Amino acid sequence: MMKKIIYIFLLASIFAVTAINVQAESPYTTWALGPGQRFFMTQDAYLPHAEIDLDISSPEDMYITSEGVMYIADTGNHRIVKLENFQIIATYGEDVLTGPTGIYVDEDGMMYIVDAKSNTIVILDQDGNLVKQFGRPEEPLFGRSREFLPRKIAVDARKNLYVISEGSVNGIVQMNTNGNFIGYFGANTATMSLKMVLQRLFLTQEQLDQFIKNEAASPANITIDHQSMVYTITAGTSNGRSIRKFTVSGLNKFPDTFGSNTFRDIDVSEEGLVVAVDATGMIWEYDLNGMILFVFGAQDRGEQRLGTLRNPSAIERYQEYIYVLDRDKNAIVVFETTAFARQVHFGVRLYMEGFYSEAKPYFERVLNYNGSFIMAYQAIAEAYYKERSYTNALENYRYAEDQSGYSQAFWELRNVVLQQYLTSAIIGLVGLSVANGVFKHFERRYKWLDPVRRWLKDIQRIKLIDDFVFMFRFIKQPADSFYYIKKKLRGSLAFAGIIYLWVIVVRVLSLYLTGFIFNPFASLSDIRVENEIITVLLLIFIWNAANYLVSTISDGEGRVRDVVIGSAYSLFPYALFVLPIALISNVLSLNEIFIYSFSLNIVWFWTGLMLIIMVKEIHNYSFAETVRNILVTIFTMGLFVLTGYILYVLFNQLYDFLSAVLQEIRLRG
């Protein structure tokens, strides 16, 4: 009851304290994750509600208790302020603190404060009395020469302190309430750029020591949820690794999750919703698995519009509101959850707890708001799967671009179909086999197919038909077949062109016909047919040109005609077998990925082997000369691509220069 009363007073005070009214037009766009893992604009998840000016100076941190009581690290005034209904009701630490930058309050009202100016941890009781104050740990395991520069703090249920120490590449400093060092926790991993790799290859150790120091970035802020899971943010690192979720054992539970490399603060609600704010004023919301729900916000560039942020330093969620502390404004900016976001949140909470069927109606309503909200499809698919409605599950898994979930549902649906029709299928196959045997028996006696055989023999006299039949000779006698091409006995440039066209068609069709589980494109709309055609054409042209040029220099006997035709016939495994493999992939699950991968690898190996035999026979090389020729050909192909790219860049620059000159002439004319 008391919580409800406090909450009512809190809402009422927003209108009373601030001079800025509510329900102003949103100054930002809200983004959500959609098909193809791309961001799309969606309805507002949060609306700017109020901006509360406070009697504070350059605040660096904020904490809201489960009762809605706010504590702010009033850095500029060297104190901690306590607020109820956005009114300062108490101040603490004026006689102890010199520059507080981090604050955490436990269930007993104990305040754990980071005083950055003195590099100490200060513990105050609920009345503001000093309980403990300590600085750098003295334990040898901490490191005798390592600095202790505390900036932020969090405390778990066992009263273990997790301190963000500026520049600590070993991770979070874990301490007890007496200031004793427990260990390091949740360290980031160092990344290696291509530039660093090249430098390590070509520079001496002295040079490396001089200017290269590849160390992991230090976490910038921290929070702990009610399960003692530790969340950290790291500024200046890659976007995919800027947010982490650690178990009590230090194991990261978040995959590479897209975020910002300028995160300032992070918070986790009791319901399991994660919010973080970055330096640009953007607010990021995730679920407990690291799935992005919403991204919104805008930077205040002098417009002073409600909902914009100038220099955010802390973020907290309480009930249906998000509170952002702005260091430059000395204010709290409040964002209110919309009806759309509430439906998402209700659904997410139930989904995270495993109540998939109960979550489904909420996500169905979410799709009524926005049909591109991909997480809704994921949750609905899970609900259908639990309800054994596998057909509906497959449809929604496809919309959600979840290949793993689709595979599970397909496995179950396939088992159901097999149980229903397997006996009938076996009987049918036996019947077809018997019928085939009977037909062959009577065909041998009455020669029913002789007219067909004579017709096939007659049409084989057509050159292109003969070239097509000749292709199958490569299966058993590839070396002799290439010899026939070299001596102009078989094959033609016309049919080589047909094979190349065939390969292009097969490439495009295979992308559309490959099963969803194995398709590199989660959505068929992402396929760019023109790009695929251009890529295949360029590879064919560059290979033929490079191989002929290299062979000419290295005493190869093959002519342009021989290389073009021989290369075309070498591609027959790809042309013949890739489409059947693509079709078969539609009846396989991830459990049979070996069948799909092995089949494709066989095709690629066979094609590569045919190219090797082609080079050897067409150019009359030894095995060693063949290997050398192919390696030099691949290198030459790389040079062609590099040269083409350089020319492309130069022509673009020339075009831009000429366009600028012409524009200048028009302006002056």
Three-state SS for 5? helix
* Six-digit token string for 560: 């342009």
H or E element, residue 39: strand 39-42
Per-residue pLDDT at 664: 76
Residue 221 CA to residue 81 CA, distance in Å, equals 20
The number of C-alpha atoms within 13 Å of 357 and in the hemisphere containing its C-beta is 5
H or E element, residue 639: helix 623-668
For range 272-282, the mean pLDDT: 94
- Taking Cα atoms as reference points, which of 65, 70, 98 lies closest to residue 86? 70
Instruction: Fill in the DSSP letter of residue 252.
Output: B
Q: Edge-to-edge strands of the sheet including 230-233? A: 221-224, 230-233, 243-246
Q: What amino acid is encoded at 482 in this protein?
A: F
Three-state SS for 204? coil
**Do 276 and 263 contact (CB within 8 A), yes or no?**
yes
**Do 78 and 367 contact (CB within 8 A), yes or no?**
no
Per-residue pLDDT at 23: 44
Could you tell me how many residues make up the chain? 669
In the predicted structure, residue 609 carries a pLDDT above the cut 80: yes
Residue 46 CA to residue 334 CA, distance in Å, equals 10
**Do 207 and 189 contact (CB within 8 A), yes or no?**
no
- Residues 6+ away with beta carbon under 8 Å from 331: 51, 52, 53, 54, 325
In the predicted structure, residue 419 carries a pLDDT above the cut 50: yes
411: left (phi > 0), else alpha (psi -120 to 50), else beta?
alpha
pTM score, whole prediction = 0.77
β-bridge mates for residue 222, sequence order: 232
Residue 267 CA to residue 65 CA, distance in Å, equals 12
Per-residue pLDDT at 7: 39
CA distances from 542 to 101, 139, 215, 508, 600 (A): 61, 64, 42, 20, 24
In the predicted structure, residue 555 carries a pLDDT above the cut 70: yes
pLDDT digits (tens, 9 = 90+) for 299-309: 998 888 999 99
Per-residue pLDDT at 467: 81
Per-residue pLDDT at 606: 95
In the predicted structure, residue 335 carries a pLDDT above the cut 70: yes
pLDDT band at 3; cut points 50, 70, 90: very low
Residue 621 CA to residue 557 CA, distance in Å, equals 9
Per-residue pLDDT at 449: 80
Residue 615 CA to residue 548 CA, distance in Å, equals 10
Radius of gyration of the chain (CA): 34
**Do 627 and 615 contact (CB within 8 A), yes or no?**
no
- Taking Cα atoms as reference points, which of 159, 142, 64, 153 lies closest to residue 114? 153
Please state the separation of Cα 229 from the chain's center in Å: 23
**Do 375 and 397 contact (CB within 8 A), yes or no?**
no
The angle that helices 339-352 and 356-369 make with each other, rounded to 10 degrees, is 160
- Taking Cα atoms as reference points, which of 533, 510, 528 lies closest to residue 596? 510
> Which single residue is written with the structure tokens 């077998």?
577
> Which single residue is written with the structure tokens 């910002």?
260
* Six-digit token string for 29: 């766009």
pLDDT digits (tens, 9 = 90+) for 486-530: 887 788 889 999 999 999 999 999 999 999 999 988 788 888 999
Residue 117 CA to residue 136 CA, distance in Å, equals 13
For range 607-631, the mean pLDDT: 93
β-bridge mates for residue 50, sequence order: 334
pLDDT digits (tens, 9 = 90+) for 439-475: 888 888 888 887 887 887 777 778 788 888 888 888 8
Q: Compute φ and ψ for 207, nearest 5 degrees.
A: -65, -40
pLDDT band at 541; cut points 50, 70, 90: very high
The number of C-alpha atoms within 13 Å of 158 and in the hemisphere containing its C-beta is 10
**Do 300 and 306 contact (CB within 8 A), yes or no?**
no
CB burial class (10 A; 0-12, 13-18, 19+) of residue 307?
buried
> Which single residue is written with the structure tokens 């149980």?
419
Spell out the SS3 assignment of 336-375: EECHHHHHHHHHHHHHHCCCHHHHHHHHHHHHHHCCCCHH
pLDDT band at 17; cut points 50, 70, 90: very low
pLDDT band at 618; cut points 50, 70, 90: very high
Which residue did the predictor score with more confidence, 666 or 82?
Answer: 82
Cα(first)–Cα(last) distance of the chain, in Å?
Answer: 78
For range 533-548, the mean pLDDT: 94
Per-residue pLDDT at 454: 81
CA distances from 125 to 112, 113, 129, 130, 558 (A): 9, 11, 5, 7, 89
**Do 501 and 571 contact (CB within 8 A), yes or no?**
no
β-bridge mates for residue 265, sequence order: 277
pLDDT band at 296; cut points 50, 70, 90: very high
**Do 123 and 134 contact (CB within 8 A), yes or no?**
no
pLDDT band at 203; cut points 50, 70, 90: low
- Taking Cα atoms as reference points, which of 651, 75, 542 lies closest to residue 314? 75
> Which single residue is written with the structure tokens 């603490």?
92
> Which single residue is written with the structure tokens 């990021």?
284
Q: What amino acid is encoded at 168 in this protein?
A: S
Q: Considering Cα of 58, then 63, then 67, then 68, what sign does the dihedral take?
A: positive
H or E element, residue 63: strand 61-64
* Six-digit token string for 406: 């689709």
pLDDT band at 249; cut points 50, 70, 90: confident
Residue 150 CA to residue 322 CA, distance in Å, equals 26
555: left (phi > 0), else alpha (psi -120 to 50), else beta?
left
Q: Compute φ and ψ for 122, nearest 5 degrees.
A: -120, 130
What is the chain's mean pLDDT, rounded?
87
- Taking Cα atoms as reference points, which of 468, 640, 460 lies closest to residue 568? 468
Per-residue pLDDT at 16: 39
Please state the separation of Cα 367 from the chain's center in Å: 23
For range 392-404, the mean pLDDT: 92
pLDDT digits (tens, 9 = 90+) for 593-603: 999 999 999 99
Which residue did the predictor score with more confidence, 330 or 419?
Answer: 330
Three-state SS for 448? coil
- Taking Cα atoms as reference points, which of 280, 275, 330 lies closest to residue 309? 280
Residue 546 CA to residue 636 CA, distance in Å, equals 6
**Do 6 and 84 contact (CB within 8 A), yes or no?**
yes
